[in-house]
């Protein structure tokens, strides 16, 4: 079953609790095993979903803070180096 982002927001609001970034996670509508693929299974389908996810930055931030050791978070596989700052931002290596 697919729930639109608007419906998910409306349900979260109606529940009376503050909205959390997880309420907008696209993976909540996908097979969880896709985001924790067993050895030899492709990670690409999950990463493709992450590319379209509006809370990708929050998700990656959470995974880094929490030290998640398994799964795909923010479009990256755990153990994969976190993306550095973008070009032209403070701390970037670009000249
Ligand atoms: S970026 Fe995070 S919250 Fe969004 S689909 Fe990927 S794993 Fe889920």
pLDDT digits (tens, 9 = 90+) for 56-93: 999 999 999 999 999 999 999 987 655 655 444 444 34
The response to whether residue 34 sits with its C-beta less than 6 Å from ligand 1 reads no
Cα 15 from Cα 34, distance rounded (Å): 28
CA of 38 to the centre of ligand 1 (A): 18
Confidence of residue 28 (pLDDT cuts 50, 70, 90): very high
90's CB contacts (< 8 A; 6+ apart) are none
59: number of Cβ within 10 Å: 24
Report pTM.
0.71
CA of 40 to the centre of ligand 1 (A): 21
Mean pLDDT, residues 42-63 taken together: 96
């Amino acid at each position: 079953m697919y729930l639109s982002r608007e419906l998910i927001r409306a349900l979260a609001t109606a529940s009376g609790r503050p909205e959390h970034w997880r309420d907008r996670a696209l993976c909540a509508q996908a097979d969880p095993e896709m985001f924790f693929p067993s050895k030899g299974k492709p990670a690409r389908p999950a990463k493709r979903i992450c590319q379209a996810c509006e809370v990708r930055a929050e998700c990656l931030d959470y995974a880094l803070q929490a030290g998640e050791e398994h799964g795909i978070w923010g479009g990256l596989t755990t153990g994969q180096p976190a993306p550095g700052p973008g070009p032209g931002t403070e701390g970037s290596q670009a000249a």
